[in-house]
């Protein structure tokens, strides 16, 4: 142990005596380790982002969105107004839109569907006392909270009776509580949505989301919505499947091309029991809905999980390119260390001869030069880690890419740096140890 420590001290003195050369030698390691740190930070950040987005949309989910058509149910009147040329125009079939009945059919006839969550989205004014804002009232069932990974922090979810009879109750998001109930008590209080007063029975736990996630996934900010039983939305707010006097009066405006939302539901989320059946189930659901809607594609079927998987594949390709760049930098750095150490052996032949004449063994010489190579690599690794962390923060700030520098990535970088020094320092160390002491002492 004493001999090893003595060799280590000699190696340290040798490196410190040529600090500039050591730094220049370590440049390849510095940039290589920095690239490794940045690469792992980007990869970890991207993976965490994918996991966060997966939590937002839920796993094994299929999203069906209604698409508003400007011609649904108005083709006959439009053709009559066009001068009687309806015989030359193909008449477009009428579609009932996305309805509650569609939900029941999908749940009953597709065996791979585990749960279904219909949604009605109603833009309304939210009022309480002197406070008011524009917001959304969402008609849902309790399945919605399960599929969206939302937790009721205060109060309770909807009771089955609420869902059956359309009681005027609601569950609010955290932002609604913060704005309208800053004084404290919220459960049992009332809030007005449109023209309907609702009793608050629950408050959702805050869902932390980024604007990028909301935009990429096409989801709402769950913290800013008010949720009512879907039966309440249909009975007390609006049921677009029913025709009333207002709809008849506005028929002429719709015939001119103005868009009208005739869908009873705005969104339906299906959960599949096996992720391998996602695409197949989505295709079956699309064919069933197209047949029920008389051949009209007035809906969109999306599989967010598959989109995220494609995004992950793209990110993996990007990470692979970064890994190749980092590997090349480390290889160049290792070759640089080997070249400098070989030159150092030629410069210090006389020193090697003196040590051998004083009793140093070949192993002592090998350890000395190995320690020098490893020490240079570790210096490069330390500077590279600092450079990598700074680079990761710069990328996160200026390129708007999430990055996470983990402890294991730093430890891995130090291990890689030490390994490079060991591997590429071995040949120069062996060459130094095999020098003939007598010839080495004769060298000027």
Q: What is the pLDDT of residues 386-437, one digit of tens each?
A: 888 888 888 878 876 778 887 877 887 778 777 877 777 777 767 766 766 6
For the segment 207-255, what is each residue's pLDDT rounded down to a tens digit?
766 555 555 555 677 888 999 999 999 988 888 887 666 665 555 454 4
- Mean pLDDT across 281-307: 85
For residue 76, what pLDDT band results from cuts at 50, 70 and 90?
very low
- Residue 41 has a pLDDT of 83
Which residue, 3, 5, 25, 11, is CA-closest to 343?
25
- Mean pLDDT across 362-375: 77
- Mean pLDDT across 269-294: 87
Cα end-to-end distance, the chain, whole Å: 33
Among 19-33, 307-321, 381-395, 406-420, the range of highest mean pLDDT: 381-395
List Cβ neighbours of 82 (8 Å cut-off, separation of 6 or more). Answer: 89
Instruction: Answer positive or negative: Cα dihedral of 369, 374, 379, 383.
Output: positive
Question: d(Cα 259, Cα 325) in Å, to the nearest integer?
Answer: 52
Please tell me the pTM assigned to this model: 0.61
Are the C-beta atoms of residues 428 and 342 closer than 8 Å to each other? yes
- Mean pLDDT across 54-79: 64
Mean pLDDT of the chain: 77
For the segment 109-156, what is each residue's pLDDT rounded down to a tens digit?
989 888 899 999 999 999 888 888 898 899 999 988 888 888 888 888
Are the C-beta atoms of residues 112 and 285 closer than 8 Å to each other? no
- Residue 86 has a pLDDT of 45
- Residue 247 has a pLDDT of 60
Counting Cα atoms < 13 Å in the Cβ hemisphere of 418 gives: 7
Q: Is 70 helix (H, G, I), strand (E, B) or coil?
A: coil
Q: Which two tokens stand for residue 417?
A: 């740096």
Cα→Cα distances 63→154, 231, 272, 355, 409, Å: 28, 21, 11, 76, 37
- Residue 198 has a pLDDT of 92
Question: d(Cα 369, Cα 375) in Å, to the nearest integer?
Answer: 10
Question: d(Cα 26, Cα 344) in Å, to the nearest integer?
Answer: 15
């Amino acid at each position: 142990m004493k001999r090893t420590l003595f060799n280590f001290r000699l190696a340290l003195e040798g490196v410190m005596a040529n600090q500039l050369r050591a730094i220049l030698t370590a440049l390849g390691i510095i940039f290589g380790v920095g690239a490794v740190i940045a690469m792992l930070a980007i990869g970890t950040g991207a993976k965490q982002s994918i996991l966060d987005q997966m939590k937002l949309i839920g796993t094994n989910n299929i999203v069906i969105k209604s698409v508003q058509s400007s011609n649904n149910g108005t083709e006959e009147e439009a053709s009559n107004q066009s001068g009687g040329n309806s015989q030359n125009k193909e008449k477009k079939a009428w579609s009932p839109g996305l309805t509650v009945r569609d939900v029941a059919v999908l749940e009953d006839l597709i065996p791979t569907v585990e749960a279904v969550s219909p949604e009605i989205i109603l833009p309304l004014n939210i009022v309480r006392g002197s406070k008011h804002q524009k917001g959304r009232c969402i008609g849902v069932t309790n399945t919605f909270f399960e599929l969206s990974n939302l937790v009721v922090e205060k109060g309770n979810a909807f009771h089955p009776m609420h869902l059956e009879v359309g009681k005027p109750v609601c569950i609010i998001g955290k932002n609604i509580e913060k704005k309208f109930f800053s004084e404290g008590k919220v459960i049992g209080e009332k809030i007005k949505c449109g023209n309907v007063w609702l009793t608050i029975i629950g408050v959702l736990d805050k869902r932390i989301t980024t604007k990028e996630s909301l935009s990429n996934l096409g989801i709402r900010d769950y913290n800013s919505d008010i949720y009512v039983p879907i039966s309440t939305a249909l009975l007390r707010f609006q049921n677009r499947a029913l025709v009333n006097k207002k709809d008849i009066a506005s028929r002429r405006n719709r015939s001119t091309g103005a868009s009208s939302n005739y869908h009873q539901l705005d969104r339906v989320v299906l959960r599949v029991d096996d992720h391998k059946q996602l695409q197949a189930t989505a295709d079956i659901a699309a064919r069933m809905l197209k047949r029920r809607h008389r051949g009209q594609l007035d809906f969109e079927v999306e599989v967010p999980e598959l989109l995220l998987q494609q995004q992950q594949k793209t990110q993996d390709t990007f990470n692979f390119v970064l890994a190749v760049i980092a590997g090349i930098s480390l290889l160049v750095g290792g070759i640089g260390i080997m070249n400098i150490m070989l030159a150092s052996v030629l410069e210090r032949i006389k020193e090697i001869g003196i040590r051998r004449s004083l009793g140093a063994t070949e192993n002592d010489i090998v350890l000395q030069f190995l320690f020098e190579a490893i020490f240079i690599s570790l210096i490069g690794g330390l500077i590279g880690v600092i450079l990598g962390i700074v680079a990761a923060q710069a990328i996160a700030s200026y390129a708007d890419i999430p990055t996470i520098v983990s402890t294991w990535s730093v430890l891995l970088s130090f291990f890689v740096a030490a390994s490079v020094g060991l591997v590429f320092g071995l040949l120069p160390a062996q060459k130094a140890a095999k020098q003939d002491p007598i010839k080495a002492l004769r060298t000027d």
